[in-house]
Structure 1
Amino acid sequence: MGDLRVEVDINTVQIVKRQYALYRIDLTMVRSGGEQRQYHAFHRFSEFIKLRQDLENEMGSELPYELPGRNVINGWLKRTNSCDPDIIEHRKRELGRFLYDLLNDSFDSRWKKSPYVCHFLQIPSNWADATLRRTSNEREGDSTEFGSKPSLKDPQKWLEELRDCKILLAEAVRDRSSATKIGVKLRLRVQNLDISLKQIHQDQLVGTSEITRRRNLLNGLKTDLNEKLVERDSEWFNSVDDSRSEEINERPLQGRKIGETSQTLGLNDQELLQLHRDKTKSQDLELEKLRQIILSQKDLSISMNQELTQQNELLDLMSGEVDSTANKLRMANRGAKRVNEG
C-alpha cells in the first residue's frame, strides 16, 4: 500500500435549483510505477456529514479526519448558505483535505477500506490492495459490463458484483446522458445476479438465512433500478415529439421494469406512463377525501371547544350564585341568633 498515492481534486461545483451545491470529486490513484486509475463522484455537503456518521457508527469511534463546520468559515461564525461563494470555496478546500487525509492514511487503514467509503466514492472495495494493471480478470469484468455473463457462483464475487451494480446505478442517476446505456447494462447484470444466486442456493454454498438476505438485497437493487431509471426514461419518453413515438416504443429494455406484473404485462412505455398517471390521480382523489374528513374533524373540534366554553361560563355563573346564597344563609343565621339571644 505504501506505493499507492491518491490525489484528490474538488474544483467543479454545480448549483442545483439555487438550493444546494453539488461537488464533483475527482480521484487519481497513482502507483510508483506511474500506473494511474481515475474515478469521480458527485456529492452534497450534507452527504459528507452522513458519511462521517455512518463511519463512526460502523467503527464505534470518532473519525480522526476533520470536516468543515456548517457555520464556521476560516474561524469566523457565518450564517450557512450552501450557494454562498465564500462557503463553496472554503468547503472545496476543506473537503479535499478531508478526503486526501482519509485515503492516504497508511497508519490507520480501516476507515478508507470501509464499504461506506467505497460506495460514497464509487471505487472498488479492494482499491487499496489491487494493482492498477488491467489483468485478464479486469478485462472479463469489462465484458460483463457490456452484457456477457461471467460465473458468479463464488459467494464473495457475487457480493462484489452486487456492489458494483449499485455503484453503476448511482453513476447513472448522477449522469443523465448515460442513464439509458447504463440501464441496459444493469438489467443484464442484475439478471445474471439472479441466475447465479439460484445456483449458489442449489449448491448450498451459503446458508438459507444468507440466501434470504442476498435475495432481499437483490430485490432492493431491482426496486432502485425501476424507480430511479425507469421513471427517468418515462419522463424522457413523454418529452419526445409525437412523430417519434412509434420508434421510441420499439426500443428494447429501455423503459421496462424488472419483474412484470399481470397489470403491466404487454403495455408499452406510453401506456405504462398513463397507468402511472391514473394511479396518481386515484391517489389524489383518496387524499382529497382524507382532507375532507380531517376538515370535518376540525369543525367538530371547534364546535366542541365552543360548547365547552359555554359550559364553563354557566359553571362560573352557578358558582357565583352558590356563593351569593351562602352569604344570605350566613346573614339569616346571624339574625336568628340575635333574636334568640334577645
Structure 2
Amino acid sequence: MSFYAPSGMDADWLLPVDGERFIAVGAPANGGVAELDEAGNVVWSSTPLPGGFLKTGAKTQDGGLMVAGQVIDSTSPSGEGLWLGRLDGAGQLLESRQLGPSTFSVHVDIELLPHPTGGYVLSTHDSEAEGAAPRLRLVRLDDAGEIVHERFMPLAPGSAMPESWSRGGAALLPGGDVVQLTAHAGYLRVVRSTEQTAPVFDRVLEEVGGAWPQDIAALPDGRIAIAAISVGQSHVILLDADGTVIWARTYHPELDTELNAIAHDPSTGLLHLGGATRGADGGTLRTWLISVDTDGELRWEYEGDVGTPARINGVTLLPGGGFVATGFGDFVYAVVRPKACP
C-alpha cells in the first residue's frame, strides 16, 4: 500500500488507466486533466475547461476521455451549467456541449458511467440558486454525449443534499439499470431506473434511521450497497435488487468515524470503503480504510497515522486487482494492492 500526494494539485476524480497510472480529473487546475505515472508524477496535463470545474470522467472506446463538470452559464437560474467534453488521449478538447443548469451550491458528486450497451449514464443533482428546489437528475447519453433520455425527480423539502456532508452517487446494475442515492428530508433515498430513465422503484430507507447519503455500489447479483454517515458514525447498508434492506451495520462508532466511498470487488466479493476516523486516541481525523464481506463482517482495516489525509472520499477498483482510495481537496491517493487486503 502506497500514499501519493502530487505537489500543487487538486482533483475531483481519479480514473485508473494502465497498471498504476491514473488520469486525475480537475487537476492540476480546476478545469484540467492530468496523467500520473506509477510514482505520482505528472506525465502530461491540459486545461479543457478554463474557468470551470471538472468533476468526473470516463474512458471512451477510442482511448480518449469523456469529462463532465460545471461552468458559468448566465442562462440558468443559478448562473451555472452542466458541461460535457470529449477529449483525446492527451487531454485535448475535441468537442463540448452544455447540458442545462447546475449549481455549485450543491456539494454532490457528478457521476459519469460508461453503459455496457454503449454511451453513458450521467447522474447529478441540480437546484436553483443557493440550493433551492433541489432535484435528482438522470441523463442517458449516446457515444457522442448527446442526450437520448432524461428525467428530473424533485427532492422533498428539507432534504440535505445542498449540504456539504451529503454527496449521493450512482451505480449500474448488471442488466443496465441505474441506481441513484439521494436524500428524502433526513433519510436515505434510493431510486432505480431503466437505462431509458423510466422509474423502477423509489425507496426511502426510514428503517435505517437518519443518515446522509455518501456513495452507492452495485453487486453482480443485483444487490445494492450503500455508504452513509450520521453524527460521528459510519453506516454500510446492503439492499436486495428491489431496494429492501438486508442488513445495516455501523463500524467503531465510539471512534467518531465516517465512510464516504464504497466499491464492490467482484474478484474477492468484498466491499472496499474509505473515509476517516479519530482513532483509538480520539485525536485528529485521519485516513480510514476497511473491507467487509457481503454479510457485513469486517475483513480488513487500515487506520492511518495522525497527519494522513483527513478524508478519503473516492474508492475505485484497479484493473489488476486491489483498489485506489482518493482524498480530494488536498489531493492524495492510496494504492492498495491485492496482497494488502483479503
Q: TM-score over 0.5 for the alignment?
A: no
Q: Between Structure 1 and Structure 2, which shows a larger proportion of strand residues?
A: 2
TM-score with structure 2 setting the length: 0.29
Q: Between Structure 1 and Structure 2, which shows a larger proportion of helix residues?
A: 1
TM-score with structure 1 setting the length: 0.29
Decide which structure has the larger Cα Rg and report it.
Answer: 1
